[in-house]
Structure 1
Amino acid sequence: MSGANFDLFFEPAYGRAISVGDGIQRLTANNPNPFTFRGTNSYIVGGSSVAVIDPGPQDEAHFKALMAALSGRQVTHIFVSHTHRDHSPLAGRLQRETGALTVGEGPHRPSRPLREGEINPFAESSDMDFVPDIAIRDGQTISGDGWALTGVLTPGHTANHAAFALEGSGILFSADHVMAWATTVVAPPDGSMADYMASLDKLIARNDGLLLPGHGGPVTTPAPFLRGLKTHRRLRERAIVERIRAGDGTIAKMVEVIYRDVDRRLHGAAALSVLAHIEDLMERGEVTADRPPSLVAHYRLAGG
């Protein structure tokens, strides 16, 4: 496989909770865009006593659909995979309504400090208000009536990104770290490519049987798909090195060539993805620049 085989088929079924596994329901928020695909997936896990994973954005229709699906059941925990505004903001309202405890890796933070003069392009997309009641540790299991979820910390997309493994099922709620429909946005300073690749290796080693992502449909064959994602990222890294070798010293020039077949609305995110790769390459001593890595720096191969 030269890269991941993406699956664009997905029926969101807005406003309805649909079964996607034994004791697992999915509700998709009607917030589609180029980054969320058909919308953000919220999951309900359990029977009469449940956990909610990623309650989603501040959206009245989605909140009402969640409350309807939860009617007659006790919500004990609200798990949040990470603090982007399409995943976590509804946690506060759901907690006030249900009294459930919130669970997450921690509050929002960048993967590295901002450099002098740098502006975080995704600041408005980040939920700075969420602070979990329980800061889950890697490998920590939180249990309810008939369910147990274990934290699998997967930094990369954000510094505080976490996946959750449903014990005894082989199912991992992979949020935005792995999705069937597209690669994950890794955009500094929120994201880190080195962290993302390490987290990808972590999931490859786990060998889960099914991934339920934060957007789009399930990943039904995780092992080859994860290997394909890793190959895709390495090929993208090599493409960046080749563009630098060819004389394209700026990220803007690299994006024009490497992403020429990609919707131009996504070129801003693509530029940040290239920056994430370059930061990793510079840390490994393969690429150098005329200043600290940024969207406007000029790059060359180390020793070139």
Structure 2
Amino acid sequence: MSIPFLKDDPLPTGAVEELGRPGGVRLRRIRCGNPGPFTFLGTNTYLIGEREVAVLDPGPEDAAHRAALRTALGKDRIGHIVVTHTHRDHSPGAAALKALSGAPTYGFGPHQTPPDAELRGGDHDFIPDRRLADGDLLEGAGWRLRALHTPGHCANHLCFALEGGGVLFSGDHVMSWSTSVVSPPDGDMAAYMAGLARLSAREEQLFLPGHGAPLPDPAPFTRALLAHREAREAALRAALQQHGPASVEALVLRLYSPIDPRLLPAAGRSLLAHLLKLEAEGAARRMGEDWAPA
């Protein structure tokens, strides 16, 4: 199944996009100027409510983005600072916003993987003032967010459903522009795929991702993401049967070619996540640096 990615996002960096008032709650989006192979055009920050708002995913420590947020706020004040997960393109900006506003921070918990065990940098400085577990409710002035623990891309990843609004803030678990990197040990492919299945069954009609444009009609898109992972896993099983034992590097070149060289390390980490899932299921085994069918 092909995935209908949204490769266009016309929102200029630092500008404010009004996303309407689903369920009577004003929503706004501001994009940080941190483009890259993993961040697309930049990290999305969302303002939820008005007068006293929640800032969801303040982004990296970036003075220009912080100034854009202050302009977007106008006379509104920050009452909550909410973080989907602790990658450095999402949570470090929380510290300056907290110092500016005095607002408490919210998230699942601190980053769970040591710095020397990661492909992507975790924000090890962020520790939320209030920890949110799966199903917890966060309430503000005229809005309610339900936390959904969706590990896989990041062990402490949360999505947030706007109650009564038909909107889900999907962080990096479901992005409109690309698939997500799943990098062990913080990333877990079995958990990621289970999260995709869970989100595809939800009733929200709009996903607001951590990167990329808003995603309407998200259920078919999310099912396509899951089908893509299932197809990748089937191809990996076949490659192991035909060409194993083989290294992760050799398997990446076989299964992902052609690929942007900048993305090879990330592809290798996601493929390793699939192999670890197959190992746990008894379908693959390690032979030193190589992998073979069980």
TM-score past 0.5 threshold:
yes
2:287 corresponding residue in structure 1: 290
2:16 corresponding residue in structure 1: 17
More divergent stretch after superposition (88-97 vs 67-76): 67-76
2:105 corresponding residue in structure 1: 102
Distance in 2 between residues matched to 1:65 and 1:30, nearest whole Å: 10
1:268 corresponding residue in structure 2: 265
Alignment of 1:23-34 (within 5 A): 23-34=26-37
- Whether the 8 Å CA contact 1:207–1:222 is kept in 2: the answer is no
Distance in 2 between residues matched to 1:240 and 1:207, nearest whole Å: 32
- Give the TM-score of the pair, scaled to structure 2: 0.95
Distance in 1 between residues matched to 2:231 and 2:20, nearest whole Å: 34
- Whether the 8 Å CA contact 2:98–2:105 is kept in 1: the answer is yes
RMSD of equivalent CA atoms = 1.4
- Whether the 8 Å CA contact 1:4–1:227 is kept in 2: the answer is no
Q: Given residue 85 of structure 2, which amino acid in structure 1 is its aligned partner?
A: H
Distance in 2 between residues matched to 1:166 and 1:287, nearest whole Å: 40
1:15 Cα deviation after fit: 1.5
Q: Which runs of 4+ in 1 moved over 6 A?
A: none
Q: Please list every run of 5 or more consecutive structure 1 residues that lacks an aligned counterpart in the other structure.
A: 292-296
Q: Please list every run of 5 or more consecutive structure 2 residues that lacks an aligned counterpart in the other structure.
A: none
Distance in 2 between residues matched to 1:243 and 1:3, nearest whole Å: 21
The answer to whether 1:250 aligns with 2:238 is no
* Paired residue secondary structure (1:83): coil
1:7 corresponding residue in structure 2: 6
More divergent stretch after superposition (68-77 vs 91-100): 68-77
2:56 corresponding residue in structure 1: 53
Alignment of 1:80-229 (within 5 A): 80-110=83-113, 119-122=116-119, 125-229=121-225
Q: Given residue 9 of structure 2, which amino acid in structure 1 is its aligned partner?
A: F
- Whether the 8 Å CA contact 2:108–2:133 is kept in 1: the answer is yes
- Whether the 8 Å CA contact 1:3–1:230 is kept in 2: the answer is no
2:277 corresponding residue in structure 1: 280
* Paired residue secondary structure (1:185): coil
- Whether the 8 Å CA contact 1:159–1:191 is kept in 2: the answer is yes
Q: Select the residue among 70, 73, 82 that pairs with 1:79.
A: 82
- Whether the 8 Å CA contact 2:118–2:186 is kept in 1: the answer is no
1:119 Cα deviation after fit: 4.4
2:292 corresponding residue in structure 1: 300
- Give the TM-score of the pair, scaled to structure 1: 0.92
Q: Given residue 175 of structure 1, which amino acid in structure 2 is its aligned partner?
A: G
- List per-residue Cα deviations over 1:17-74 (Å, max 9, x = no partner): 1112311100000000000000000000101111000000011100100111113112
- List per-residue Cα deviations over 1:65-92 (Å, max 9, x = no partner): 0111113112110000000010000101
Distance in 2 between residues matched to 1:120 and 1:55, nearest whole Å: 25
- Whether the 8 Å CA contact 2:201–2:219 is kept in 1: the answer is no
Distance in 1 between residues matched to 2:47 and 2:99, nearest whole Å: 17
Q: Given residue 10 of structure 2, which amino acid in structure 1 is its aligned partner?
A: E
- Whether the 8 Å CA contact 1:12–1:39 is kept in 2: the answer is no
More divergent stretch after superposition (259-268 vs 4-13): 4-13
- Whether the 8 Å CA contact 2:144–2:163 is kept in 1: the answer is yes
Q: Indicate how the Cα distance of structure 1 residues 139 and 238 shifts in structure 2: closer, same or farther if over 3 A, else same.
A: same
